[in-house]
Amino acid sequence: MTQAFASEAHRPTVLVVDDDKILREIISTNLELGGFDVISAPDGPSALALLDDRVPDVVVLDVVMPLMDGYATLGRIRRHATASHIPVIVLTSGGTDTTEPVKSLEAGADDFIAKPFSPQEMLARVRAKVRRANVDSSLQPLTRLPGNIAIEHEVRRRFEAREPWAVIYADLDNFKAFNDHYGFVRGDDAIRLVSTTMSDTIKRIGVESDFLGHIGGDDFIIVTSPQRAENLARTVADTFDRDVPALYTPADRAKGWIAAKDRRGNNVRFPLMSLSLAIVTQSPRITSYQSIGEVAAELKSFAKRQTGSFVAMDKRKR
């Protein structure tokens, strides 16, 4: 199972993508000396494969490459389920031709550097992008997934563009009891399991335009199409139910429950964690961005009253 790059106390990571091995090594060495961890790829397909397993803080991307040029690679990054938010600095050929810089920015680049460039300029631009990403990206620190600012932007964009859309809200059941019983470190493992389960599901059966975000705590969201929503949600639920027992001790796993105090201080047996998923799609009920959350809250409340992981869908058309 793959896992997004967790943001604990770590050096920022830069992905360098360039088919020129010597230049790639020079850039990597300078960035490492400047305090960054570096991963590298010789072409677009290799870079995209790396992004499936590890989400860096910045991408440095050459324009002219074999197999897939920088513009096509950038387009794929911007449609990536878990990496679409990453700042991308494009390396252009330089000279008086402004075609490459303009085309790069139009394709979604955050910045560009014209060759030849100095190591100091590269370090300054990468550091600036890391600082700006930390302020603006709304990334959740535990999962490195887009947070509330990016989620609202994506949902509003699709809603206001009148594109066919569906949102899947996912919430962990019995998480507080698990966190109290095993401690917050194991609780973080549970949050990461939800994150990787949803991310892996999108990679296996979703498409590049599917969006995954971490609302906060144990709440997540997928923005997708109405045709894919139910399959995605049920696959997430089934996969989570398969994998979650591994978070428990063998004794608790065998029992199928843990003992913990409820909100009133009573000792209660809590079943193994499960997921409540609510699917909200376009309907006459949805008249505003705010009403999406209202309908989702109704559906999640219903799902939480069921046993085990459950997918609730809005069947009403009022």
pLDDT tens digits, residue range 171-212?
Answer: 999 999 999 999 999 999 999 999 999 999 999 999 988 999
**Helix, strand, coil percentages, rounded to 5, for the chain:** 45, 20, 35
What is d(CA 220, CA 2) in angstroms, rounded to the nearest whole number? 17
Q: Over 80: is that where the pLDDT of 224 sits?
A: yes
Percentage of the residues of the chain whose pLDDT score is greater than 90: 63
Model pLDDT for residues 44-56, shown as the tens digit of each residue? 999 999 998 888 9
Judge if pTM exceeds 0.75: no
What would the two tokens of residue 305 be?
A: 């009253």
Q: What pLDDT, in 10s, does the model give residues 136-159?
A: 556 788 888 888 888 988 898 888
Question: What is the structure's pLDDT at 79?
Answer: 86
Domain positions in the chain are 13-136, 148-313
Q: pLDDT tens digits, residue range 2-33? A: 333 333 346 899 999 999 999 999 999 999 99
pLDDT tier, 93 (very low <50, low <70, confident <90, very high otherwise): confident
Instruction: Provide the pLDDT confidence category of residue 95 given band limits of 50, 70 and 90.
Output: low
Q: How confident is the model at residue 96 (pLDDT cuts 50, 70, 90)?
A: low
pLDDT digits (tens, 9 = 90+) for 206-221: 998 899 999 999 999 9
Distance CA 188, CA 314 (A): 31
For CA atoms 142, 216, 200, 212, give the dihedral sign: negative
> Residue 135: its pLDDT value, please?
59
Q: Which CATH superfamily is domain 13-136 in?
A: Response regulator (3.40.50.2300)
Please tell me the predicted confidence (pLDDT) of residue 6: 35
**Is the CATH number of domain 148-313 3.30.360.10?**
no
pLDDT, mean of residues 257-264: 87
21 φ/ψ angles, rounded to the nearest 5 degrees = -60, -40
Of the CA atoms within 13 Å of residue 318, those in its CB half-sphere come to: 2
Q: How far apart are CA 312 and CA 88, in angstroms?
A: 38
User: pLDDT grade, residue 287 (50/70/90)?
Assistant: confident
Which pLDDT value is given to residue 14? 96
